[in-house]
Amino acid sequence: MKMTTIVVEEDGKKKYKRVPLEQTPEEAAADEAAIAFLDELRSCSGEEYPKGLPLACVVKVVDYQDIPKAKEAYALVRVEGLDKRTWRMCVNRKSVKVGKNALFVSERAALPVDERFRNLAVCKVKEKKYKFGFGVTITRLLPHVKRNVYHNNPGVLYPVADFSELKGKRLGTIVASLLRIDDQDELLMLLQQPRYRDVFQPGVIKVKLPPPRR
């Protein structure tokens, strides 16, 4: 509900007070529709989470819609990947444009420590260290995927122009290996394997780092 500020006089003193702003029937109906739309996105009733998406790939933004009643900060987009498969995502407003390519990164991604992935216009990232034995540690950046507005949000979108490696890449091209992006679940599985947990002893045990993604 929209609010406005009015000045009232109490005990001879002027005070400011927030009161509901009178709406026309049309404005009230639009507000109700916006709230219903936001509730639908948050609940994702009857909508399945998009499964089997790549860890990272080049996509095209094919639809864009500002999300009302969400701090006026978010938009719902539909992107197209390989074989014309499409899925919906929640992004920051005006961070992408319809018809333009973008880099899709799944919420499962463990990103390399690269300043291009620390783009706050896209998302926040959290540093996580994976210890593969004594003295052998790798650091990855984990993307914070917004799920409070659109519950089924599967990842984030980075500007494809920020990555020179992607110049000329076709729509749907999987680029996890090219950008050195790992899978969080795979890294955790590797940590549970003895050959990665063994304590490093010079000349006795050599701790292998996880193999690069292909």
108-131 per-position pLDDT tens digit: 999 999 999 999 999 999 999 988
pTM, two decimal places: 0.78
Q: With bands split at pLDDT 50, 70 and 90, how would you rate the model's confidence at 200?
A: very low
136: buried, middle or exposed (CB in 10 Å: 19+, 13-18, 0-12)?
middle
62-89 per-position pLDDT tens digit: 999 998 876 778 999 999 999 999 999 9
Mean pLDDT of 86-102: 94
Q: With bands split at pLDDT 50, 70 and 90, how would you rate the model's confidence at 204?
A: very low
Q: With bands split at pLDDT 50, 70 and 90, how would you rate the model's confidence at 207?
A: very low
DSSP string for residues in the chain:
--EEEEEEEETTEEEEEEEEPP--HHHHHHHHHHHHHHHHHHH-TT-----S--SEEEEEEEEEEE-TTSTT-EEEEEEE-GGG-EEEEEEETTSS-TT-EEEEEETTEEB-S-GGG--TTT--EEEEEEE-STT-EEEEEEE----SSSTT--EEEEEGGG-GGGTTPPTT-B-TTTTTPEEHHHHHHHHTSHHHHSPPBTTTB-PPPPPPP-
29-65 per-position pLDDT tens digit: 777 787 888 888 888 888 899 999 999 999 999 999 9
Has residue 19 got a pLDDT over 70? no
List, in order of start, the domains of the chain with CATH numbers.
56-197 (2.40.50)
